A and B are shown apart, each in its own frame.
Chain A
Amino acid sequence: MTAGENLMSVMVYIPTPFRRFAGNQTYVKAEGRTVGEVLDALGKSYPTLKHMIYNEADEIPGHINVYINSQEIHSLQGKNTPVSDGDEMAVIPAIAGGQVLTPEQVNRYSRHIIMPQVGPVGQRKLMETKVLVVGAGGLGGPAALYLALAGVGTIGIVDFDVVDLSNLQRQVLHQNDDVGKKKTESAKETLLSYNPDVIHDTPLTSDNAMEIIPQYDIVVNGADNFTTRYLVNDACYFADKVLVDGSILLFDGQATVFKPGHGCYRCLFPAPPPPGLVPNCAEAGVLGALTGVMGSIQAIEVIKQVLEIGDPLVSRLLLFDALAMDFRIVKLRRDPKCPLCGDDPTITELIDYVEFCGAPFPGGHDGADGGSNGD
């Protein structure tokens, strides 16, 4: 008994995550002779909903199940399953890579999931990723914030410093009431409102770097001193981790991605400047909103790595001049003579970075007030 020429009127159940794409209705009436026709009619009335139900190939993606009277249509005739007057249809987003995204997660991450480059599988990948952010300051702040918002499941932060009033011009993880608090604590409070995470409440040193870094998939560098930068570079190379590097000063930003075997910080800058020659942000200043641009770029590069999409900033150094509003990219090459990742490496384990850079780790054992890993 098929539907013939007559259109059947079906009630379609819209689950919570999709509801606002359908005028906030729980049930929508739509007509057609088959499931496919009903979905087409639904898509005509609610174009955004159509994007959620159909992928680019105009097929129902794997994470969406369509039910007719509680029976999944794959076990019937798929989109050609005939419908009858009074049938109840449901469009349920659920399964992704064997893992369930809750309706709340589908809703929360819908602007990402709707993009084919992310999708529910990509969202699961993000949720399973562990990112270490070195420094809860100007770069680490927006980077960690956007990663948490994107649903990155574990975000570790190394920083030892406390929040200072002068941080609040740019460091978005910390608020007025946080002045005097540990930065890791303040960062955790802010990030926890989005996702649970792990916080490493310690400065990174040669002693603990190889314990901390291997626990993560990707590292974001927002350090504010050369000593930590060379340490993080070497430790990431030894631990075979991708390092998303960023640095800022005044109105300038630099960003790149160091992938082991494709050049490292030592290939870019073989040695640090003599102490005192290149000022840090505390000494020279930095435009607050610039940290947002560069930190966001670092978050973008992390997400691209996780999702394996686009062209990463590997072997390329991005230069941003905020005054000229000019983005440029120069080449970054692996130096065959690099003492770390070159053909004849002389650095085969972590070294004494305080001696190498001629400057202590801020917050080091001498108790000197030198800023933080990330400040």
Chain B
Amino acid sequence: MAIEVKVTANFAKLIGGERSTRAEGGTIGEVLDDLDQRHPGFKQNVVAEGRIHRFVNVYLNDEDVRFLQQLDTPISEGDVVSVLPALAGGS
């Protein structure tokens, strides 16, 4: 199924300059794989060696998937996936 994926402004360039796009898959991992197909190189910014980077959070709706089933977290119609890297900016 196709669901919405939102990214922060500094990740927008990885998905063609948009803040939001659609991707398909039954799990978080499949959605990221689908995005990587459409935008080669995207996934390595989020995942390494089968695990989500420790400085990037992926949310299924309002829940951090680290507290669900990580990349295996299943997705339902209408879900929104957010990819959120740590930001250190304060100035």
Contacts and interface: CB of A to CB of B under 8 A. Distances in A.
A286 B53 CA distance: 24
Contact of B64 (A134, A333, A375): A333
Contacts of B77: none
A207 B15 CA distance: 42
A225 B88 contact: yes
A106 B86 CA distance: 42
Interface in A242-275: 246-252, 254, 268-273
Contacts of B82: 319, 328, 330
Contacts of B19: 321, 323-324
A282 B82 CA distance: 25
A249 B62 CA distance: 21
Interface residues of B, number: 25
A249 B87 CA distance: 7
Interface stretch (A64-72, A108-116, A137-145, A185-193): A137-145
B90 A224 contact: yes
Contacts of B63: 330-331
Nearest to B12: A250
Interface string A117-159: 0000000000000000011011110000000000000000000
Contacts of A170: 91
A132 to B, nearest CB: 14
Given A278-B10, A284-B10, A321-B19, A247 B62 contact: no
Contact of B55 (A278, A332, A371): A278
Contacts of A167: 91
Contacts of A293: none
Contact of A280 (B20, B54, B64, B89): B89
Interface string B4-38: 00001110000000011000000000000000000
A34 interface: no
Contact of A224 (B10, B66, B91): B91
Contacts of B67: 331, 333, 335
A272 B91 CA distance: 18
B89 A269 contact: no
A223 B90 contact: yes
Most chain A C-beta atoms within 10 Å of own C-beta, residue among B19, B63, B86: B86
Given A330-B82, A333-B64, A171 B87 contact: no
Contacts of B62: 328-331
Contacts of A252: 8-10, 87
B64 A248 contact: no
A119 B50 CA distance: 54
A360 interface: no
A222 interface: yes
Q: List 8 A-B pairs, minimum CB-CB distance, nearest first.
A: A137-B91, A250-B9, A271-B54, A375-B91, A273-B55, A222-B90, A269-B86, A224-B90
Interface of A: 134-135, 137-140, 167, 170-171, 221-226, 229, 246-252, 254, 268-273, 277-282, 284, 286, 291, 319, 321, 323-324, 328-333, 335, 371-372, 374-375
Interface of B: 8-10, 19-20, 53-57, 59, 62-64, 66-67, 82, 84-91
